Chains A and B, each alone.
Chain A
Amino acid sequence: MSRQIIIPFGPQHPVLPEPIHLDLVLEDEIVVDVIPSIGYVHRGLEKLVERREYTEYVYVAERICGICSFVHGLAYCQGVEGMMKIEVPERALYLRTIWSEYSRLHSHLLTLGLFADVLGFENLFMNAWRLREHILDDMEATTGGRVIQGSCKVGGVRRDISSEKLDQMVSGLNELEKEMKELTEVFLRDSSIKSRLCGVGVLPKKEAYEYGAAGPTLRGSGWSIDARKLGYAAFSKLNFEPVVETQGDCYARCAVRAKEMFVSIDLIRQAVQKIPDGPVEVKVTGAPDGEYFTRVEQPRGELVHYLKGNGTKNLVRSRVRTPTFTNIPPLVAMLKGCELADVPVIVHSIDPCIGCAER
């Protein structure tokens, strides 16, 4: 056995957008063990639920993550609505679906761009972010915020979208789809990208399930598991199939994200066609009592919100299980046996969002 050395990776590293620390145990250039540690951006947002009224906590819940903010707000609102047995108007459910698919589009474009940056493909990174800007513009025009939308509330949504704006959004997406096709072609077909991704960081199907992988990491390993199939918001009325790849390597995870964007565009189109007229919110009175679990599909995987109330205006407990947190054990499994130079690519292939994971 050759001599083992430990190389610290992070919390500050050029490829990491957020701080995570990995101690890489190396033998020559091969990683034999990984010791992950988090705790650099813990903000105590779960504890804050005791100090803010349940209607105001939506703003805090949205700020758990800066990318999938809308989905966090949606999960929290769904939890409180489930506890208080509030019937949300149909139109609000469709609007929530449209916005959550928009946030999936912008998150996937962001992560594909960062992934290209990790690979050293700078102009692909800029191209992905140029397309993402169109999505953010639509978000700002309909909700008032680029990444923190603040449009979800307990009992419905804050803002309605006019039917002309919805048509305009769909025609904008049709234009964008052509450019996105060109972008994903590069990710899926370019030889330099393939040589960097294929066969790197393989997560076998059985291990992916046993280690509790979520989202594109799980679907990249051949499991067709998607929380949108639970039918929350208006997803039960829309037709779609989860994107599944079977190889389980970095290329498969990248391909799942690239193909999922087109599923999202298709879902938005279906939702705009089927959206009914009517009110977008109901008046909420009283205070939540009891406990509730909600599961929604974040761009990074399945998100679980647990809420507990005691009949006062403040909830007593909120627990958030984010997909990045469950993707860390699969990440450790992927890293074992890889080369040191592949570590940044593999770490980025799970799309780590440490702000989410530590809350």
Chain B
Amino acid sequence: MGVFEMVGTVVRSVFRKPATLMYPVKTAKITPLSRGHVVIDVSRCISCRICQKKCPSQAIWVEPKEKTWQINRLRCNVCNSCVETCPVKCLTMDTHYIPSVTVRPGAELFHITYVKPPKPEITAESKD
């Protein structure tokens, strides 16, 4: 039967700096692999909708005609599935978490600026 089993730990904890962090005043610990939030490079997105199909929480919505890419940050569960499957690698994972909110912000809208390069014209010379 032990009585003062924790004294050693308690004494050490008194002289140690706090184990907790004053988040959000101080930034949270992040590692290079941390999954924070998805970032899109609108100049490269080809509106293929693969990210929309592969999203397990249906947070991404792409409109190829209107050239928009939407993401609902509160639905997104930051699984990295879209980043892995994007064929042109226009999606990347940022290591910083999105700040917490008090009102539901709805979907975040991005306008895709990618323009498909024109096909080289087939002339009589190139056919030959």
Do A and B actually bind?
yes
The answer to whether A150 touches B80 (Cβ under 8 A) is: yes
The answer to whether B56 touches A150 (Cβ under 8 A) is: no
Q: Tell me the nearest residue of chain B to A121, going by C-beta.
A: B6
- Which residues 1-21 in B have Cβ within 8 Å of A in the complex? 1-3, 5-6, 8-10, 13, 19
Instruction: Report which of A60, A124, A127, A189 forms a contact with B56, defined as CB distance below 8 A.
Output: A60
Q: A140 and B34 in contact (CB under 8 A), knowing A123-B10, A130-B19, A150-B79?
A: yes
Q: In the docked arrangement, what's the CA distance between A141 and B34, Å?
A: 7
The interface residues of chain A lying within 8 Å CB-to-CB of B34 are 140, 144-145
Instruction: Report which of B2, B33, B35, B77 forms a contact with A63, defined as CB distance below 8 A.
Output: B77
Q: A190 and B56 in contact (CB under 8 A), knowing A140-B33, A182-B8, A182-B9?
A: no
Q: In the docked arrangement, what's the CA distance between A168 and B60, Å?
A: 38
The interface residues of chain A lying within 8 Å CB-to-CB of B13 are 127
Q: In the docked arrangement, what's the CA distance between A327 and B22, Å?
A: 39
The answer to whether B19 touches A140 (Cβ under 8 A) is: no
Interface of chain A, main secondary structure: helix
The answer to whether B3 touches A141 (Cβ under 8 A) is: no
Q: In the docked arrangement, what's the CA distance between A145 and B29, Å?
A: 12
The answer to whether A189 touches B5 (Cβ under 8 A) is: yes
The interface residues of chain A lying within 8 Å CB-to-CB of B80 are 144, 150, 158
Interface bits A183-201 vs B (CB < 8 Å: 1, else 0): 1011001110010000000
The interface residues of chain B lying within 8 Å CB-to-CB of A53 are 54
- Across the A-B interface, how many residue pairs have beta carbons closer than 8 Å? 66
The interface residues of chain B lying within 8 Å CB-to-CB of A144 are 31, 33-35, 80, 93
Q: Tell me the nearest residue of chain B to A194, going by C-beta.
A: B1
Q: In the docked arrangement, what's the CA distance between A180 and B28, Å?
A: 25
B81 within 8 A of partner (CB): yes
Nearest CB on A from B54, distance (A):
6
Interface size on A, residues (CB 8 A): 32
Nearest CB on A from B84, distance (A):
8
Instruction: Report which of A57, A130, A143, A179 forms a contact with B33, defined as CB distance below 8 A.
Output: A143
Q: Tell me the nearest residue of chain A to B1, going by C-beta.
A: A191
Q: Tell me the nearest residue of chain A to B79, going by C-beta.
A: A59
The answer to whether A59 touches B2 (Cβ under 8 A) is: no
The answer to whether B19 touches A150 (Cβ under 8 A) is: no
Nearest CB on A from B107, distance (A):
20
Q: In the docked arrangement, what's the CA distance between A191 and B6, Å?
A: 12
Q: In the docked arrangement, what's the CA distance between A179 and B54, Å?
A: 43
Q: Tell me the nearest residue of chain A to B4, going by C-beta.
A: A190
The interface residues of chain A lying within 8 Å CB-to-CB of B93 are 144
Q: A124 and B31 in contact (CB under 8 A), knowing A56-B81, A59-B81?
A: no
Q: In the docked arrangement, what's the CA distance between A348 and B29, Å?
A: 31
The answer to whether B56 touches A57 (Cβ under 8 A) is: yes
Q: In the docked arrangement, what's the CA distance between A190 and B1, Å?
A: 6
The answer to whether B10 touches A191 (Cβ under 8 A) is: no
Nearest CB on A from B9, distance (A):
6
The interface residues of chain A lying within 8 Å CB-to-CB of B35 are 144-145, 150
A133 within 8 A of partner (CB): yes
- Residues on B lying within 8 angstroms of A by beta carbon are 1-3, 5-6, 8-10, 13, 19, 29, 31, 33-35, 54, 56, 77, 79-81, 84, 93
